[in-house]
Amino acid sequence: MQQTLPVSPPSNKVVQLGRWLRGERLTTLNLFVTFVIICIIFASQAQYFLTLENFVNIGRTLGVVGIVSIGMTLVLITGGVDISVGSVAALSGVITSILWLQSGVPLGFATLIGLAACTLVGFINGYLIAFVRINPLITTLASFSIVRGLAFVLSNGQTNQLNDDTFKLLGRGEIVGIPISLLLMIALYVAFFALMHFTQFGRNLYAIGGSPDASRLAGIPVRRHLLIVYTLSGFLAGLAGIIIASQLASSAPRAATGLEFTVIAAVVLGGTSLSGGKGSLIGTLVGVFILRVLDNGLVQTRVSSFYQDVISGAVLLLAVGFDQIRLKLTSSLGGKP
Amino acid sequence: MNTMRVSGISEIMSLVIMLVIIIVFMGQASPVFMTTRNLENMLLDISTVGILAVFTTLLMIGGGLDLSIGATLALCGVVIGALQTTLGILPAAGLALVVGALVGLLNGFLVTYVGINPLITTLGMLSIARGLAFVFSDGLTIPVFDNDGTQQAAYDVFTQFGEGQVLGIATPVFVMLLLFGIGLLILQFTAYGRAMYAMGGNAQASHLAGLAVRRYRMIAYTLSGLSAGLTAVMLTSRLYAADPRAAMGIELTVITSVVLGGISLAGGKGTLIGTALGVLVLSTLLNGMKLLSTSTDAQNIAQGIVLLLAVGLDQLRTRNINWSKWLRGSRLLPGAATPSKASASSGSD
Amino acid sequence: MNTPLLEMQHIQKSFYGVKVLDDVSIDLAAGETLALLGENGAGKSTLIKILNGDYLRDDGEVLIDGKPVHFSEPRDAEAHGIRMIYQELHYAPELSVAENLLLGRLPRRPGALGWIVDWNLTRKQAQDALALLNVQIDPMTKMRDLSVVEREIIEIVKALSRHARIIVMDEPTAALTPPEVQQLFQIIRNLRERGVGIIYISHRLDEVFQIAQRVTVLRDGKHVGTRAIADVTHKALVHMMVGREIEERTQVRQELAAVQTGAPVLEVRNLSKRGAFEDISLKVAAGEIVGLFGLLGAGHNNLTQAIFGIERAERGTIYINGNAVEVRSPRDGKRAGIGFVPLDRKINGLVLGMSVRKNITLSNWRVLAPMGVFWHGQEMQHTRHWVDQLGIRMAGGIETHTRYLSGGNQQKVVLSRWLEANVRVLLLNEPTWGVDVGARSDIYDQLEALAAQGLAILMVSSDIDEVLTVSHRILTIYKGRLTGEFMQAQATQEKLLQAAAGGGA
């Protein structure tokens, strides 16, 4: 005679409350509230903050961080990390300018080769992580160093001008007043969101991060997925690098220094967990938004640029800290291991 | 089980061999390499990394990670520079130590009690500390010397930290050797040392065995911060200047040296002898490259490659590191750990 | 004569020159449940890993339906319908039940949109799979919001839903309550009717007698014998597994009933924690072994954890030797003289990468390292004392890393640790979970010896035989409340089960 098994935790108020408090909805709500508060503070301190022109400015700077954050989100969801993105971004600009200025390669091709090189770096990262099984932090720490060094060596430490009008369009151009880079970013977000939520591949990434063992046992080709994810990260970083070069109309080996920190901060802020298996692109987008607005606001209120790093760091720690405390305090409310 | 021991020894052996090869090669490649002057300089250069490596080793064996040491170093240096006149140079140096320890304490608190992943915590702190270094120095290098001539005696003492000698060895080098020695003793014979191995090996089980895991973790991070303060004092003393840009990227050098020496990112493994050799190998390599006029960038490339080789070879040899394990935050909440995150094989045979 | 569903013939396997399987052969018919028995280290896991493609055999043949097959990776085995259910659960906590069930094979939209996941169909397929077992869990619930029991059940549903022909179950009932075990057995019988062959690995011999048709015993990598279940007794099986006689404990039970005990060492009054246990009062005297028996979720684990300091009770007091103590962390528990042997020793009990010596001395640094420095000689002496007393077997002496010890010996190390820390009260959570028959008896003997020396022991167990065999007194717990107290002489299986399931005491 079959008995029915106990129903999943009874739907009483406490348990539901506990679940809600631990859930992502609250994180996003938190973020939204933080965002609003920050905007209010800045609006009160700087008169130009709430202007359309300023928003367009913000929109222009969103592109770079936003695009790299896509790759970083995916990487983090699989339980890894990629701290080489800044160096890779610089590399694409450097390679593009060298090929164009010194070897006479048409700018279009040069850009593509630069992108390809960055994708290759991502591929190598992915290979070392997935197949040689080197810890992602160490692998990308090493490539962070190597790629940055390469950027300097290849460019001889020089900043090169990239004064081509078509090229500058990518970073500076607008369509109906919206920066092209922003449009590109949005398009990519939509595409990747679909990937993560509607395709097997995307769900597999969550599975891999949640339990590499379960994924392996279920027959998911884990290593292949990881390889692809890091390659994507490299590609997106390279793309961002091209945009940077386009915006500055120059390539510098020093470009995008510190980008990895900003990106990781944005992604973690957005609710993606460093241990993997959890995270959303929407959250990342919000995180990117918040950090960019923060940056912009600090400039608008004429805070010394030195304080910007301090405040970014503090915001990251506070946000993640509060989230952790929330999780701890609510972990005992219903439906627990 | 004695295979563990055997592989430990062979790791050391391969490092020694590497060191010998590098020394021989560099000796051939550059006439300057084997001169006393160069060796002395090299040891001095090593001292900063070396001292940081001792504390980093202890921290990492315990399963921790501190990426903020470079930034903290810069901050402490700036503290000295900014307050040398108002407080006096020696009190300022003392304060620098305190500041370093406080940063470490804060890191420890965030990791242990709030439960933020050490990578994020120290990355955030890195940003804050570096930013503050720039804020307090207005972005400029601060010369450290006796401005108004009233503190002659104090400054004489201060310069001893970086330029003086103890028993015929340069002070920073002496301090480094001393710390290595003390560190070795601590790891081998003391409760603190064993606590690091236990925590790094299995923090949960250690906690359930009644070990004061939180306390030890706080101490480890505080000491890491303190080491940044200590090296800041010596560096500032040696260079007569406090630079907010100091020690950028030193984390990479320290971590590469330490990992080269056999420390695992997950914790619970490694020795100071390995670290010492790792520091020697890497620094000799970099020093040699500097002599051969390779650019700093090429040196960075070399560092990255060394790191990959070190870990890669280790992987090929042992093939059993659970690479995603270390990224988990330092949760001390006991009770059923999520079962799927238990280590690999099922069954007990 | 039908071709067997599965045959493994003359399997040989060595690791680093050590022979782990030596000419082992088993066969399984369609619709049969074959129990695979053996002590830890006998080779069961290795054999299974060869079957499911994790390991490559050195020699021998594997045949399915009479045809030789070769698996170079788990996927090959899966393709042939072989499914594993492990002791440790593997699942993605942040994904829903449905996604975990259909991991890697989510249904797609038909036609041109074939790369998009069809979430409605996903939900339906998950529902269907759950219905196979009459499981009432909402498939959209996240795995992390389920209880431990429910997660295990999903694991089983997962394996079942993938059209398995051969299912290997490795200690599937370790975390299940008696009613749930029966439910599992019902499923197994259903599976048999569909022609699925089951290899059932368990240390619980009583279950084997209920569910298996035949039993194969391995010992030290060799095949000892295969018998029909009707042709063999409990004692005979144990003999085959261990190679020697293990005495029945009926004699011991009588002795236990006659033991007199002293004053209460541990006393708990009105201990309560919302959602876990309510108004618990109990005493354990020096020299007494009290068994705490209950179904999963009854709160007994929480109770012992609260006494030791892992969790905190909200109301009530704990007394040690008559003095009220406040226990807010395992350190407090240790200081109060309480020791805690956790359920999952590999995760919660031992530092696997550290030696036996260091694990044993882990809780007594106050004595062994005064002023923070270890006295080597003293530490060695203390360690050897416990190794001798408890009979811990290690391949390389006390410096062996505990990772390399068998389950029973690992458990002894954890026990030794608390003895070294000189505790007066010992709390045990499923003391012989995952420990084989030979070592089990050993551990029971140890516990009795310790009680005789004056230790107060409170033992949580879901193994009714164990509880009956070892305890002087048994308490039953149901939904966080104590429902019964039985002296050894009066306790029977029926009474205990009834009380633990909520029937009146």
Does some domain include residue C190? yes
Q: What is the per-residue pLDDT across C316-364, written as a single tens digit (0 to 9) for each?
A: 999 998 889 999 899 999 999 999 998 888 888 899 989 999 999 999 9
Split at pLDDT 50, 70, 90, the class of A90 is very high
Residues C254 and C270 in one domain: yes
pLDDT of the residue at B329: 36
Distance between CA atoms of A250 and A267, rounded to whole angstroms?
28
Residue A295 predicted with pLDDT over 70: yes
Strand intervals (E) in B101-245 = 142-143, 165-166, 169-170, 241-242
Split at pLDDT 50, 70, 90, the class of C245 is low
Q: Of the candidates C210, C242, C274, which is a domain's last residue?
A: C242
The answer to whether B47 and B163 are in contact (CB under 8 A) is no
B119 contacts on A by Cβ (under 8 Å): 81, 137, 274
Does some domain include residue C445? no
Residues C210 and C323 in one domain: no
CATH number, residue C32: 3.40.50.300
Residues C318 and C405 in one domain: no
Please report the ipTM that was assigned to this predicted complex: 0.80
Return the higher-pLDDT residue of B188 and C192.
B188
Calculate the alpha carbon distances from B121 to B54, B105, B293, B329 in Å.
Answer: 21, 12, 37, 10
Q: What is the per-residue pLDDT across B29-48, written as a single tens digit (0 to 9) for each?
A: 877 777 888 888 888 889 99
Q: What is the per-residue pLDDT across B109-167, written as a single tens digit (0 to 9) for each?
A: 999 999 898 988 999 999 999 999 999 999 899 988 877 777 788 888 888 888 888 88
Mean pLDDT of A32-38: 80
Q: What is the per-residue pLDDT across C462-485, written as a single tens digit (0 to 9) for each?
A: 777 788 888 889 999 887 888 888
pLDDT of the residue at B341: 28
Q: Of the candidates C175, C208, C242, which is a domain's last residue?
A: C242
Q: Of the candidates C200, C222, C242, which is a domain's last residue?
A: C242
- Partners of chain B (3+ Cβ pairs below 8 A): A, C
CB contact under 8 A, B204 and C353: no
Instruction: List phi, psi (to 5°) of C485.
Output: -135, 125
Does some domain include residue C447? no
The answer to whether C331 and C309 are in contact (CB under 8 A) is yes
Residues C430 and C416 in one domain: no
Does some domain include residue C331? yes
Q: What distance in Å separates residue C198's CA from the closest CA in chain A?
A: 19
Does some domain include residue C392? yes
pLDDT of the residue at C176: 67
Q: Which of C103, C123, C136, C183 to mutate to test the interface with A (most CBs of A within 10 A)?
A: C103
Residue B205 predicted with pLDDT over 60: yes
B345 contacts on A by Cβ (under 8 Å): none
Beta bridge partners of B16: none
CB contact under 8 A, B209 and C417: yes
Split at pLDDT 50, 70, 90, the class of A5 is very low
Residues C309 and C382 in one domain: no
Q: What is the per-residue pLDDT across A142-163, written as a single tens digit (0 to 9) for each?
A: 999 999 999 998 988 888 888 8
A11 contacts on C by Cβ (under 8 Å): none
Indicate the residue of B120, B252, B340 with minimum beta-carbon distance to A213. B340
Return the higher-pLDDT residue of C203 and C40.
C203
CB contact under 8 A, A145 and B110: no
Residue B207 predicted with pLDDT over 60: yes
pLDDT of the residue at B47: 92
- Domain spans in chain A, listed from the N-terminal domain onward: 54-330
CB contact under 8 A, C330 and B334: yes
Write out the CATH class of domain A54-330. Answer: mainly alpha
CB contact under 8 A, A3 and C183: yes
**String of DSSP letters for B40-85:** HHHHHHHHHHHHHHHHHHHHHHTT---S-HHHHHHHHHHHHHHHTT
Q: Domain containing C271: what range?
A: 249-337+425-434+456-505
pLDDT of the residue at A20: 63
Calculate the alpha carbon distances from B139 to A314, B86, B211, C367 in Å.
Answer: 20, 20, 44, 53
A274 contacts on B by Cβ (under 8 Å): 117, 119-120, 327, 329
Report the percentage of chain C scoring pLDDT > 70.
91
Fold adopted by B18-316 = ABC transporter involved in vitamin B12 uptake, BtuC (1.10.3470)
Residues C219 and C329 in one domain: no
Reduced to 3 states (helix: H, G, I; strand: E, B; else coil), residue A252 is coil
pLDDT of the residue at C41: 67
Residues 207 to 246 of A: which have CB under 8 A from any B CB? 210-214
The answer to whether A150 and A93 are in contact (CB under 8 A) is no
Q: How many domains does chain C have?
A: 3
Does some domain include residue C42? yes
Residue B338 predicted with pLDDT over 70: no
Residue C370 predicted with pLDDT over 50: yes
- Partners of chain C (3+ Cβ pairs below 8 A): A, B
Beta bridge partners of C471: none
Q: How many CB pairs under 8 A join B and C?
A: 134
Return the higher-pLDDT residue of B92 and B345.
B92
Residues C306 and C407 in one domain: no
The number of beta carbons lying within 10 Å of the beta carbon of residue C2 is: 8
Return the higher-pLDDT residue of C85 and C285.
C285
Buried b (16+ CB within 10 A) or exposed e, C232-252: beeeebbbbbbeeebeebeeb
Name the amino acid, one letter, at C82. Answer: I
Mean pLDDT of A87-107: 90
Residues C333 and C348 in one domain: no
Does some domain include residue C1? no
Q: What is the per-residue pLDDT across C153-165, written as a single tens digit (0 to 9) for each?
A: 787 788 777 777 8
Reduced to 3 states (helix: H, G, I; strand: E, B; else coil), residue B24 is helix
Residues C124 and C144 in one domain: yes
Split at pLDDT 50, 70, 90, the class of B320 is very low
